[in-house]
Structure 1
Amino acid sequence: MDQSKTTLKMEWNGNKSGSGTVEAGYLKTEIAMPQSFGGTGEGTEPKELLVTSAATCFLMTLVGTLEARSLAVDSLKMHSEASVSKEEGFKITHYPAIVLPAGATEEQIQSADRTLAAADRNCDVGNMLKKAGVQIDISGDVSVSKIG
């Protein structure tokens, strides 16, 4: 099994209403406690970072899967949402939108649609979160560009 190592550098100034920074490779961002926990909310917080990690992993896995299937893509956009409830626990939903070039065949459309499930199965971060009881749903859309 391949091993990878991630190193973070973090700094915090002040108490709960203070702020800090986190750096890792190309990532450098301000962090702060959410207002709901007595912080300022003027920086990213742990749930945002967790959902960002899951979404980025899914998106990059999707891009790799589309490329492996030799599927040309005109546009790929995505947004993700996370919610916490007593009924569903922690849930993340990814909403990818794939636009294939004009003239894409039905076979290419179906193949692109199947990449959504394949990317979900192969995303390491998503798989780790699922093992921890996080529900991850994919609500994707595959369409064909009208401009040819």
Structure 2
Amino acid sequence: MDTLYTAEALATGEGRNGHVTTTDGRVDLDLAIPPEMGGSGEGANPEQLFAAGYAACFHSALQSVARVQKVKIANSTVGGRVSIGSNGNGGFGLAVQLEVVIPGLDHEQARALADAAHQVCPYSNATRGNIEVTITVSDD
């Protein structure tokens, strides 16, 4: 891989009940286990950070493929959901749902752009074959 950029972060404390900071200081968050998992929920959690990162990265990939295909998209959004649960083998696994909304574009063309974005998005490439990723395309 020809590296373009490297992000660096440090987690301290007790993992999910701790703190995370990037070396540039742009991310500086307390972490807390969500109430659904027995925690206080009084901080961010890794699944929220992953959902935000994947949604933003996928949205960038969507805009990139639209530019390459010379398709104008305006007011598009990508929502991300990351779920965590037992993998049935004593560990945990993740599942991702992405919702792509491209107003004013017919469903088939929007689906084609989302499929193309899924092929180039670094998060999609990193997760492909490892976790379930579901992409829906919606009109609203």
TM-score normalized by the length of structure 1: 0.70
Does the alignment pair 1:32 with 2:44? no
In the alignment of these two chains, the number of paired residues is: 135
Residue from 138, 141, 145 that aligns with 2:135: 138
Output one character per residue of 1:38-66: Cα deviation in whole Å (capped at 9) or x when no partner: 75432222122222222222111001011
Judged with a 3 Å threshold, the aligned counterparts in structure 2 of structure 1 residues 66 and 85 are, in CA distance, closer, same or farther, namely: same
Judged with a 3 Å threshold, the aligned counterparts in structure 2 of structure 1 residues 53 and 30 are, in CA distance, closer, same or farther, namely: same
Judged with a 3 Å threshold, the aligned counterparts in structure 2 of structure 1 residues 26 and 129 are, in CA distance, closer, same or farther, namely: farther
CA distance in structure 1 between the aligned counterparts of 2:51 and 2:83, rounded to whole angstroms: 10
CA distance in structure 2 between the aligned counterparts of 1:126 and 1:41, rounded to whole angstroms: 28
Q: Which amino acid aligns with 1:63?
A: Q
Aligned-pair CA distance for 1:121: 1.4
| 8 A Cα contact 1:30 1:43, kept in partner | yes
Judged with a 3 Å threshold, the aligned counterparts in structure 2 of structure 1 residues 27 and 126 are, in CA distance, closer, same or farther, namely: farther
CA distance in structure 1 between the aligned counterparts of 2:123 and 2:80, rounded to whole angstroms: 15
Pair member with larger Rg: 1
Give the % identical residues: 18
CA distance in structure 2 between the aligned counterparts of 1:73 and 1:17, rounded to whole angstroms: 38
Output one character per residue of 1:26-45: Cα deviation in whole Å (capped at 9) or x when no partner: 84231313145675432222
- Per the alignment, residue 81 of structure 2 pairs with 81
Of 76-85 and 3-12, the range deviating more from structure 2 = 3-12
Judged with a 3 Å threshold, the aligned counterparts in structure 2 of structure 1 residues 26 and 75 are, in CA distance, closer, same or farther, namely: farther
TM-align CA RMSD: 3.2
Uncovered stretches (5+) of structure 2, i.e. residues with no partner: none
Uncovered stretches (5+) of structure 1, i.e. residues with no partner: 144-148
| 8 A Cα contact 2:110 2:137, kept in partner | no
